[in-house]
Amino acid sequence: MIIGSNAENKIFLTPDELADYLSISKTTVYRLVYKREIAFNKIGGSLRFRKDDIDKYLNDERIEPIRK
């Protein structure tokens, strides 16, 4: 969870906010964009990420534990 940020309340995230939200580097954010692994919008030439899309991506990439 992010402390001191209101990324949880935003619809669109900047690359910096997304990096904070996912606890990854901004370079990794741009790598995911370059590989088209995450959905993004370009608004006036700036990258923006819908929080709903990111949450769906996280859910889709989730690896379930092996149950015995």
How does pLDDT run across 15-61, given as a tens digit for each residue? 999 999 999 999 999 999 999 999 999 999 999 999 999 999 999 99
* Cα→Cα distances 22→6, 14, 16, Å: 14, 12, 10
Per the structure, the count of domains in the chain is 1
**pLDDT category of residue 2 using cuts at 50, 70 and 90:** very low
pLDDT of residue 52: 95
Asked if 20 and 7 count as a contact pair (C-beta separation under 8 A), the reply is: yes
| CATH number reported for the structural domain that contains residue 29 in this entry | 1.10.10
Domain assignment present for 3: no
How far apart are alpha carbons 18 and 29 in whole angstroms? Answer: 7
Domain assignment present for 43: yes
Pick from 6-10, 11-15, 59-63: least confident: 6-10
**pLDDT category of residue 68 using cuts at 50, 70 and 90:** confident
Domain assignment present for 31: yes
